Amino acid sequence: MDISNVISFNNLEYIILDKTTLRNKDYLYCVQIDSNDLPLEEYKFFKSSIENNSYYVEEVIDEDLQKDLTAIFANNYLNEEQAG
């Protein structure tokens, strides 16, 4: 696993599955991983930002935004599947 694709949030680790930009903000689609780097059944959306040369993530809790992100990430997945 590429460590650059792992983020920590509330003392838990998540692997980044996909990234997108919406309304000039960056978002991540992630799955929580256990101590053996295996995926669990906890998926989350995060807003990511860089401030003062530090990387920050914030959980997306707005349900309307979650729906928008779900549509975008589902479309990304379908496009990857069609590309082959």
Mean confidence (pLDDT) of the chain: 91
Q: What is the mean pLDDT of residues 10-29?
A: 95
DSSP alpha helix (H) spans, 1-84: 63-83
Greater model confidence, 84 or 59 = 59
pLDDT tens column, 32-67: 999 999 999 999 999 999 999 998 999 999 999 999
39-51 vs 54-59, strand pairing mode: antiparallel
* Cβ(4)–Cβ(13) below 8 Å: no
Q: Is the pTM of this model over 0.75?
A: yes
**Which of residues 18 and 79 earns the better pLDDT score?**
18
Q: What is the pLDDT of residue 26?
A: 96
Nearest C-alpha neighbor of 5 from the set 26, 20, 19, 22:
19
Q: Closest by alpha carbon to 46, among 34, 33, 56, 38?
A: 56
